[in-house]
């Protein structure tokens, strides 16, 4: 990313969903990056950061093995906002007192604002906020003033106004704090005096220039799946290198019904990109035979993708680069220095260590909603930008247990019926993602006065902004009934239909 943008540094202290802070900052039109807690104040100074935000985290500030930061960042001369554990670290480092709270505080709380200050400018004196902490700041550091309190937190917000150091015990980044975005905007624009100069248009311009610098005059291979992430990546790289981009669509036998034909039609005939289709169904299904562990599925699929692309790259003398549609949630869920591995994405942790390509990942720092905005900026058609997400490993991670041709056929038909009914109801664009899952078990049923022993299919529909959190979609019972009737009538191998009503967290969107 160009250094011309004002940069906010978000220091990751181990909060699994600390990325939400980055999303809120980006939504305000300010560019930010997430850095590990080990980054030094000098490194931040060299990056010319304009403000720092410390995330929450699971540690205790006073514990010997707690996650810490370079205390020099409090002397950088730039505004710092500590959130939850970030505030506790700030207090501990600057001479305040942090202890185990006499009463833990989780969930909604009423915030009583005590002083007029830039952080709470324009807001009511009492606000609803979201708390999630077992430790508390019981004494603010010398020179700090208490800005707000709750019934259980005497120091729920504090500030050293002359040094522009602020701390809040609650979480402004979550929607459960209704005025949270207003508080963050006050920090960005009233405290840090930043301007909103980061847009989809500026991203496209700068990323095209960066890609040109990275690849030079070489040919580039693009792993094109037909999904929005790989499509936007391909369009960005195509704008940067033109005919030196060679898109490869690998049919690994794990696609939805009609997927291959749709990809060829859109990218080759409509968008005019060079596209080569590779039929690799046999080799992928052979690799997955007998495999039931989801992480092993992802690893094998990720490795085999690279081997296919390496073989195809031999057609081009200087194809050193491989484009992938990696986005930031892929990176986070695959594990970072401070965040646990939720699931290894095939395009992150599933890559072979000995691959010969240098990766080009234009979207690696973007969330899904940002990817879509970039897609529209590039002029991609609605049928691409508005498509529901589809995982790179395809139906392999929507079949629980071993992947077989029979199970793939059953799932394709079930998924197609579900999505068709969603579209008929006019809900496709309102739902983030809708799909069918096939668990590897059967159950007893009765059809036509006869006993059946057939598959159960699970329907999953969720709404989300960023794929990191999601709410299950409340579909009308009449719609679910129509879908269920079609499934058991049109797919002979199915005799039971269930609807997944679990949000993320605690579940993930995909089942594997």
Report pLDDT digits (tens) over 94-135. Answer: 999 888 876 666 788 999 999 889 999 999 999 999 888 778
Q: Which residue has the higher pLDDT, 433 or 390?
A: 433
Q: Are 393 and 254 in contact (CB under 8 A)?
A: yes
Q: Where in the chain is the domain with CATH 3.40.50.880?
A: 7-191
* Catalytic residue chosen out of the listed positions 173, 304, 333, 377: 173
- Whether 128 is catalytic is no
Q: Where in the chain is the domain with CATH 3.40.50.620?
A: 200-385
Tell how far CA 46 is from the center of its chain: 28
Cβ neighbors of 193 (< 8 A, separation 6 or more) are none
Q: What is the distance between the alpha carbons of residues 112 and 153, in angstroms, rounded to a whole number?
A: 10
Structure tokens at 246: 């060679």
Cβ neighbors of 190 (< 8 A, separation 6 or more) are 118, 119, 121
State the pLDDT at residue 345. Answer: 41
DSSP character string of 413-466: HHHHHHHHHHHHTT-TTT-SEEEEEB-S-EEEEEETTEEEEEEEEEEEEEE-SS
Give φ, ψ of 318 to 5 degrees.
-125, 35
State yes or no: cis peptide before 506, omega within 30 of 0: yes
- Whether 84 is catalytic is yes
CATH architecture of 398-499: 2-Layer Sandwich (3.30)
**What is the rounded average pLDDT of the residues 362-390?**
88
CATH architecture of 200-385: 3-Layer(aba) Sandwich (3.40)
Give φ, ψ of 102 to 5 degrees.
-65, -25
Q: At residue 346, does pLDDT exceed 70?
A: no
Least Cα distance to 465 among 136, 56, 173, 41 occurs for 173
Percent of the chain with pLDDT over 70: 93
Q: Which residue has the higher pLDDT, 381 or 267?
A: 381
Q: At residue 341, does pLDDT exceed 50?
A: no
* Catalytic residue chosen out of the listed positions 5, 6, 19, 84: 84
CATH architecture of 7-191: 3-Layer(aba) Sandwich (3.40)
Q: At residue 343, does pLDDT exceed 50?
A: no
Q: Are 273 and 247 in contact (CB under 8 A)?
A: yes
- Whether 490 is catalytic is no
Q: Which residue has the higher pLDDT, 175 or 434?
A: 434
Q: Is 33 helix (H, G, I), strand (E, B) or coil?
A: strand
Distances (CA, A) of 314 to 26, 225, 321, 497: 40, 20, 12, 47
pLDDT tens across 139-185, in order? 999 999 999 999 888 999 999 999 999 999 999 998 889 999 999 99
Q: Where in the chain is the domain with CATH 3.30.300.10?
A: 398-499
**Angle made by CA atoms 214, 215, 218, in degrees to the nearest 5:** 165
């Amino acid at each position: 990313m160009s250094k011309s943008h004002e940069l906010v540094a978000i220091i990751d202290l181990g909060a699994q969903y600390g990325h939400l802070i980055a999303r809120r900052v980006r939504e305000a039109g300010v560019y930010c990056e997430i850095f590990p807690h080990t980054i030094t104040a000098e490194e931040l100074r060299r990056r010319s950061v304009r403000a720092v935000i410390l995330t929450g985290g699971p540690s205790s500030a006073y514990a010997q093995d707690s996650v810490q930061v370079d205390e020099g960042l409090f002397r950088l001369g730039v505004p710092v906002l500590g959130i939850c554990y970030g505030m506790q670290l700030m207090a501990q480092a600057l001479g305040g007192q942090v202890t185990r709270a006499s009463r833990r505080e989780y969930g909604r709380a009423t915030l009583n604002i005590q002083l007029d200050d830039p952080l709470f400018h324009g807001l009511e004196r009492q606000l609803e906020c979201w708390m999630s902490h077992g430790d508390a700041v019981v004494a603010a550091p010398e020179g700090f003033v208490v800005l707000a309190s709750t019934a259980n937190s005497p120091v729920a917000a504090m500030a050293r106004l002359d040094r522009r150091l602020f701390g809040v015990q609650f979480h402004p980044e979550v929607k459960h704090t209704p005025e949270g975005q207003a508080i963050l905007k006050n920090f960005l624009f009233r405290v840090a005096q930043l301007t909103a100069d980061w847009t989809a248009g500026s991203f496209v311009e700068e990323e095209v220039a960066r890609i040109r610098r990275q690849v030079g005059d070489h040919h580039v291979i693009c792993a094109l799946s037909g999904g929005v992430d790989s499509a936007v990546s391909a369009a960005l790289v195509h704008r940067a290198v033109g005919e030196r981009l060679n898109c490869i669509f690998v049919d690994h036998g794990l696609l939805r019904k009609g997927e291959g034909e749709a990809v060829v039609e859109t990218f080759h005939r409509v968008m005019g990109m060079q596209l080569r289709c590779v039929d690799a169904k046999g080799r992928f299904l052979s690799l997955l035979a007998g495999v039931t562990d989801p992480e092993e599925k992802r690893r094998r699929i990720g490795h085999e993708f690279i081997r296919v692309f390496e073989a195809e790259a031999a057609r081009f003398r200087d194809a050193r680069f491989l484009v992938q549609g990696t986005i930031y949630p892929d990176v986070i869920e695959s594990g970072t220095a401070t965040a646990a591995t939720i699931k290894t994405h095939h395009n992150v942790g599933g890559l072979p260590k000995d691959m010969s390509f240098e990766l080009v990942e234009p979207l690696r720092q973007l969330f899904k909603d940002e990817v879509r905005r970039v897609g529209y900026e590039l002029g991609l058609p609605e049928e691409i930008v508005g498509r529901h997400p589809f995982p790179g490993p395809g139906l392999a991670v929507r079949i629980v247990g071993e992947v077989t041709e029979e199970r793939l056929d059953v799932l394709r038909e079930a998924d197609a019926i579900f999505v068709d009914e969603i579209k008929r109801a006019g809900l496709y664009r309102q739902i983030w993602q809708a799909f069918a899952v096939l668990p590897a078990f059967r159950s007893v049923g009765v059809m036509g006065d006869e006993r059946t022993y057939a598959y159960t299919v699970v329907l999953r529909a969720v709404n989300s902004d960023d794929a990191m959190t999601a709410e299950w979609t409340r579909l009308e019972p009449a719609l679910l009934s129509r879908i269920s009737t079609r499934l058991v009538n049109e797919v002979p191998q199915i005799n039971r239909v269930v609807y997944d009503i679990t949000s993320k967290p605690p579940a993930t969107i995909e089942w594997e």
